[in-house]
Amino acid sequence: MARCADGTHAARRFLAVAGAALSLSLGFSSSQALAFESPQDGVYEDRIDWGVTGDMSGPAAGSQHPWVKGFQSRMHLVNEKGGINGRQINVLAEDTRYDAPSERIAYEKFASQTPVLGMSGMGNSSAQTALVPMINRLKVPVVGTYTTAKASVEPTNPLIYGGFCGFKQMAQVGVGHFANSLKLDKPKVATVHLDVASGVEFNGYMDEAVKKLGGTNVSIPIKVVAADATPQVLALLDAKPDFVAIHGVATTSLLVLKAMQQYGVDVPSFAITYLGTPSVYQSVGEAAGKNYHFVSCFTPASAASPEAAADLIAQAEKDGHGALQDDINFVAGWVVAGLVAEAITEAGEEPTREKLVEILNDGFELPASGLSSKLVYTSKDHEGLKVLQPIGYDYATKKFKSFGDYADFEQYVN
Amino acid sequence: MTSVSTSRTAMPIDEFAPSAPARQKAAARPLRWLWLAVAAAVLVYLPFVLHDRAILGYRLSNIQLLNVGLAQLNLTLIAVLGAVSLNYLTGCAGLVSIGHAAFFAVGAMAAAATGAQLGLPFLVSLVAALIAGAAAGVLAGLPSLRVRGLYFVLSTMALHFIVVFAFSEYQYAAFDVFGISYPQPAIGPFALDSALKWYFFLLPIVVLCCLACNYSLKHREGRALLAVRDNEQAASSSGIDVRVLRLKAFAFSSAIASLAGALQAYYLTTVSTELYSLNLAISFIAMIIIGGMGSIAGGVVGALVWLLLPSVLTGFAGELGAAGGGLAKIFVEHRPQVVNLIFGSLVAVLLIFAPGGIVGAARKLTKLVRPGAEA
């Protein structure tokens, strides 16, 4: 009996082990069957490839490289927290050197050479305009552009989603705020702008915003390679504006502000978002920089609430980018990576390019995070971030300061 | 007479036989045709490999294909036209020009006026670009009749700024601030709507332009150009009309560059004034220095290296970054800078050890390996 009992016991043990092995192998094979992959969309079992293009070594690298770093830092954080639906986000960053042909090469690469689920960046507005037909053909969604060309969002393109404050809103908020705070009925404004496509566009929006208030705007072009802004400041002296708007690269602001100080032109000025970096304020010094502001839909870490900026500051330090935490471009990259992560999450466990577009185009919203204003995409509007606020710099504390909440400036945007 | 006749009959038979180099040349001829056939086969099959990312059905990884794509190859072919035409002007005619980006802009403007504004067919736009480029070249060459050296270089730089200014005025007046948009290029019913079609359209054009430059250099005017480059006074005293020759060289070179500009504009679909920076002009000079001045092959090799090597390096830097280890962070976080550093170092090393460029170095190497061979 004992033997028989032993034999029964052994048989039971055998059956239990065999059953466990069978169920394990079944479970393994079924989990393999469930693991979704779509290599042509850059989606693999354990990772999702996402493309980023930006000028990392060319003339706009000063602003676009921090943006790429901000994007990468946010994705590091996402990956450290376990990724999205079990997949790590692999950021493939391509340096396009502010060069239209390089931008095209990168886009085609992301479409088929090293396929990605989607891409972000594309900081050259002319290149972006040129790429619209190709984007429509190759169908890799561009989620969170660094600059938003008119041709990309007018008419609305289901494959392109803005990720930066628009020039139109920059002009509207800047003009509205300064006209209001200086109590001007018919403001006289001068716009110093680069003689490139985006500069001409910004000046056009300034014209519109100023004319709406019955004022006048004088256009003062400047070269991107200018080494001196004396001619521009002499033109400012002639125009006698109530306030000045500046479009350009960081050097443009430095040259204009220093020349304004040299010639005693003491009027308030505001710059486009891209020029909101601590280095501009520190380089020009308090005397020239105290009356200088920028308008932005992003909030530098030092002007944001500690809770909103905590993750950004910690991750920036961890990645060795601590000095960039107050750089508006770094913050912008961080916010756009958050948008991408959210969109991928909503696309579910089996994300594809098509599904991603569906999610974004059907109406997508990211509430104001403390680091940016509210982002809204509808099927008819893909600009995303519409509300901006003016931001200044406090030389005593070496911190940025905002002049209210984003909601306070919504009135200027239409 | 008799003595002459006698001496001829007395001449050893060997004297009438082909000389040793001639025999070598004759023996090398079939081999040369074989190489040409292989090169042609590679050039025809290459785009399919890059398009399908596979060879004979065997799938290749991105790094196995050196991180190169078909769009890159097409833009490289266009750059080859620019580099070869500049090499003709600078390397062969001795006229150092930094106005080559301006000729690209002239081609783009001619194509915009004829193709985008007048709605003329694509091929007509290309012909217009050739004519406009030749005319602009003659104008640009006029200062070469009076000024030399650095002063002439400055005059080509002035040309660059004048043309870029004209381009931006034209763009803003007739088109959008974002640039000039070109219609879909087509040759009759055949639309150039894919990278593959573009490749097979560009390749014959590039081959034809290279052959035209080569033909010119091997004939009277080309040899006269080389003579002017080496010693202007000696060339002039031997009856060469230096002034006319220079203008012809400028017209020929700028016509090709202008054609390349029109092709680039159509390929990119929209171009703006920002594209035609001084950097573009300088990049062509870099291409011919790297490839080798004074030869058509130098222009081709220089353009290939200048446009493709950074991409190859980027691919390998990415692989190293993904592999992990101490250097990985640097390769991932600072990849563009690392790529630029390696690329710059390679160019510096090349210029130190091979001042004649890659083609010059290859010729030296060939002579070392096969002393009797034609370089």
- What lies within 8 Å, CB to CB, of B158 at 6+ separation is none
What's the token pair of residue A61? 């690298």
For residue B318, the chain A residues in CB contact (below 8 A) are 92
- From A185's Cα to the closest Cα of chain B, the distance in A is 31
- Considering CB atoms only, which of B69, B172, B268 is closest to A101? B268
Higher pLDDT, B228 or B80: B80
Terminal Cα-to-Cα distance of chain B (whole angstroms): 41
Touching A: B residues 259-278, CB under 8 Å: 264, 268-275
Q: How far is CA A330 from the centre of its chain?
A: 8
Question: What is the set of domains in chain A, with CATH numbers?
Answer: 41-165+302-387 (3.40.50.2300), 168-296 (3.40.50.2300)
ipTM: 0.82
Residues of chain A whose beta carbon is less than 8 angstroms from a beta carbon of chain B are 56-57, 69, 72, 92-95, 98-101, 104-105, 108-109, 112-114, 124-126, 129-130, 133-134, 149-151, 195-198, 200-201, 204, 319-320
- Whether residue B172 lies within 8 A of chain A, CB to CB, comes out as yes
pLDDT of residue A7: 47
pLDDT by position in tens, chain A (length 414): 334 444 455 555 555 555 555 554 444 444 444 589 999 999 999 999 999 999 998 888 888 999 999 999 999 999 999 999 999 999 999 999 888 899 999 999 999 899 999 999 998 888 888 899 899 999 999 999 998 888 888 889 999 999 999 999 999 999 999 999 999 999 999 999 998 878 988 999 999 999 999 999 999 999 877 889 999 999 999 999 999 999 998 889 999 999 999 999 999 999 999 998 898 999 999 988 999 999 999 999 999 998 999 999 999 999 999 999 999 999 999 999 999 999 999 999 999 999 999 999 999 999 888 899 999 999 999 999 999 999 999 999 999 999 888 999 999 998
Mapped to the 3 state alphabet, what secondary structure does chain A carry? CHHHHHHHHHHHHHHHHHHHHHHHHHHHHHHHHHCCCEHHHCECCCEEEEEEEECCCCCCHHHHHHHHHHHHHHHHHHHHCCCECCEEEEEEEEECCCCHHHHHHHHHHHHHHCCCCCEEECCCHHHHHHHHHHHHHHCCCEEEECCCCHHHHCCCCCCEEECCCCHHHHHHHHHHHHHHHCCCCCCEEEEEEECCHHHHHHHHHHHHHHHHCCCEEEEEEECCCCCCCHHHHHHHHHHCCCEEEECCCHHHHHHHHHHHHHCCCCCCEEECHHHCCHHHHHHHHHHHHCCEEEEECECCHHHCCHHHHHHHHHHHHHCCCHHHCCCHHHHHHHHHHHHHHHHHHHCCCCCCHHHHHHHHHCCEEECCCCCECCEEEECCEEEEECCCEEEEEECCCCEEEECCCHHHHHHHCC
- Considering CB atoms only, which of B70, B333, B337 is closest to A57? B337
pLDDT band (50, 70, 90) for residue B18: low
In this complex, how many residue pairs, one in chain A and one in chain B, have their CB atoms less than 8 Å apart?
92
- Whether residue B176 lies within 8 A of chain A, CB to CB, comes out as yes
Q: How far apart are CA A270 and CA A246, in angstroms?
A: 6
pLDDT band (50, 70, 90) for residue B325: low
Nearest residue of chain B to residue A68 (CA atoms): B333
Q: How far apart are CA B137 and CA A268, in angstroms?
A: 49
Give residue-wise pLDDT tens across range A156-205: 999 999 999 999 999 999 999 999 999 999 999 999 999 887 898 899 99
Nearest residue of chain B to residue A91 (CA atoms): B332
pLDDT band (50, 70, 90) for residue B4: very low
For residue A125, the chain B residues in CB contact (below 8 A) are 178
